[in-house]
Structure 1
């Protein structure tokens, strides 16, 4: 009989499979996409380039064919727009609308295990390309405004920002693109793992993405950027920071935007986005920089030896705010990037052809 392996809570540090998509090295403060330094990619390439890398294993050529392919798929068909009009009400969260729309788009889809590779890839591209268009349309409809049609000739990041906010500033689009590239993938986080579990059954693309979305909607995952920005509102003047931190620690409350499940040093994504934020030199940016230093010092003072650094969510909210996205669109914007990582992981998992089926240890009462 095989001896069971008892895994730690949360599967912390447990390797569950092999992957060629990327890796997160927490002790080093480093992560990559297929061997390419992800933070460096975010600072130097377009979103479509990183997308091509994740799906096909290489950066695209200079002909722009992949960008054109993605742009042509970004528009919504009339039925999806009608569904959004019938579904979205004032206050509807865009991610909830995305869940409905992706489910509808997946009606009749065949299991991925029954499809040839090119059809699986087509399903991945179709879902990821329409995601920003759906989210932008849902956002506008919730505000009582009309959706904006996609521009097939525009870059993915720039078109999303335009459709969601009307902002066409190239500098803001570039700042947003840096954020999006930096957050495409990040190891076996909860949503990626959830999507891969469903993919391991051979299910269809929509089902895999809906599972990932369900995990992503949790406030400890995709909902973190808006909560980190809300903390800055609570603190106000940076001089209030240490007292605010003391209150959080005394109540054993999480300090949103600080600490990470993997990194034991500075989060490279946070450091990257801090540099992006500095370009704006706004009151919000100056406050965020000052508060970050105060929070780190306060934690070091109150909990010696426990170093907590700003994570990606802290400066993500600042950057998204600076480009004109409201807090209600922070999680959806995160989703615009992460759906690319999800689809790449789903495709890889289906190719492995092995269902994920762990065991649980019963600790309840035994009835006689």
Structure 2
């Protein structure tokens, strides 16, 4: 299903031909350059950018909600092993925290909003805790007085210097929402039935776990490692195309020009980090684009957000195992905003399929 309009939204849109996307009425990349994560979160949930008093109150509320219950921490300590991925732990924690959650259909608008904030706020704490437990380390408790991005990086890596927090905040804001992608649509389908907030988030998370969606940042960085010397790039691309394989970190279902998120993240990493990884990434990007133009003239295929996301997250100290979970920490804000909008409609999404099997016959038939 592609380019099928299923509902109206005031949350945002992606204009693929223009290389532009927005949250509400604001340019999303400009928000990422100039705003705090919590302020954009406020915009997504409440529809407006907060004034100073509202900003402080909202950040304080999110900080308090970021604290995990002792029962959830104990659950994570019992089940997380080196084999358990952080998003699998998040799936379990959300299901546990929401075991008594009532259907959205039966909640007031305020109650629905409370649930949205609660579950989105604990996501970074759960992800960071699961990461540390999988490494044989103990959980670092959330600090309700810290900023959301700073606290997430501290809980994950112990350190959170200002440059790293600023770079990561830019990335997280760029990935809060992005139109009716697969996970957002999945969450809205669940919400349209009147189901509860946690089930709606878990529906979105299930779609997000697929490597064609949320799982790409680590794979894009792995491709950089596989290529090694940028001089190897064109031969590598030829081999991938000949084998009919996807070039992770390149191309997008909507954009037909440069991905504005990738362009912004490239700007951030080249300005902040003079490292061999950044230099190799920019060289490989140019070589891949040139190779694709050579092999498939006229095909427009450019770096997408995952290509530079992996580079940025590596530079701020996050390991590849945390790339997709970090993406999820941002996207859960967009999921919950969409769930709230869908729940307010109180109409179930009921598409139809086009049957393409043998012609059916009425009446009795021979077996």
For normalisation by structure 1, the TM-score amounts to: 0.96
Cα deviation, residue 361, structure 1: 2.3
Aligned equivalents of 1:363, 1:299: Cα separation in 2: 35
Instruction: After superposition, give the CA deviation of every residue in 1:44-92 in whole Å (9 maximum; x if it has no partner).
Output: 1000010000000101111211111111111101000011011101121
Aligned equivalents of 1:188, 1:94: Cα separation in 2: 25
Q: Which runs of 4+ in 1 moved over 6 A?
A: none
* Alignment of 1:238 onto 2:226: no
Cα deviation, residue 108, structure 1: 1.1
Cα deviation, residue 151, structure 1: 0.7
Aligned equivalents of 2:347, 2:5: Cα separation in 1: 15
Aligned equivalents of 1:222, 1:167: Cα separation in 2: 25
Who is 1:96 aligned against? Answer: 88
Aligned equivalents of 1:176, 1:281: Cα separation in 2: 17
Aligned equivalents of 1:260, 1:307: Cα separation in 2: 10
* Alignment of 1:261 onto 2:253: yes
* Alignment of 1:308 onto 2:301: yes
| Residue among 362, 365, 368 paired with 2:355 | 362
Please give the root-mean-square deviation of Cα atoms over the aligned residues, in Å: 0.8
| Residue among 265, 269, 280 paired with 1:277 | 269
Instruction: After superposition, give the CA deviation of every residue in 1:283-317 in whole Å (9 maximum; x if it has no partner).
Output: 00000000000000000000000010000000000
Question: Secondary structure of 2:96's match?
Answer: helix
Who is 1:187 aligned against? Answer: 179
Aligned equivalents of 1:29, 1:281: Cα separation in 2: 27
Who is 1:291 aligned against? Answer: 284
| Residue among 315, 324, 328 paired with 1:331 | 324
Aligned residues: 358
Instruction: After superposition, give the CA deviation of every residue in 1:162-194 in whole Å (9 maximum; x if it has no partner).
Output: 001112211001100000000000000000000
Structure 1: unaligned runs, 5 residues or longer: 1-10
Aligned equivalents of 1:131, 1:165: Cα separation in 2: 16
Aligned equivalents of 2:355, 2:127: Cα separation in 1: 41
Who is 2:20 aligned against? Answer: 30
* Alignment of 1:57 onto 2:47: yes
Aligned equivalents of 2:66, 2:188: Cα separation in 1: 25
Who is 1:346 aligned against? Answer: 339
Aligned equivalents of 2:60, 2:97: Cα separation in 1: 22
Structure 2: unaligned runs, 5 residues or longer: none
Question: Secondary structure of 2:52's match?
Answer: coil
Instruction: After superposition, give the CA deviation of every residue in 1:183-228 in whole Å (9 maximum; x if it has no partner).
Output: 0000000000000000000100000011000000000000000000
Cα deviation, residue 362, structure 1: 2.5
Question: Secondary structure of 1:23's match?
Answer: strand
Question: Secondary structure of 1:24's match?
Answer: strand
Cα deviation, residue 363, structure 1: 2.5
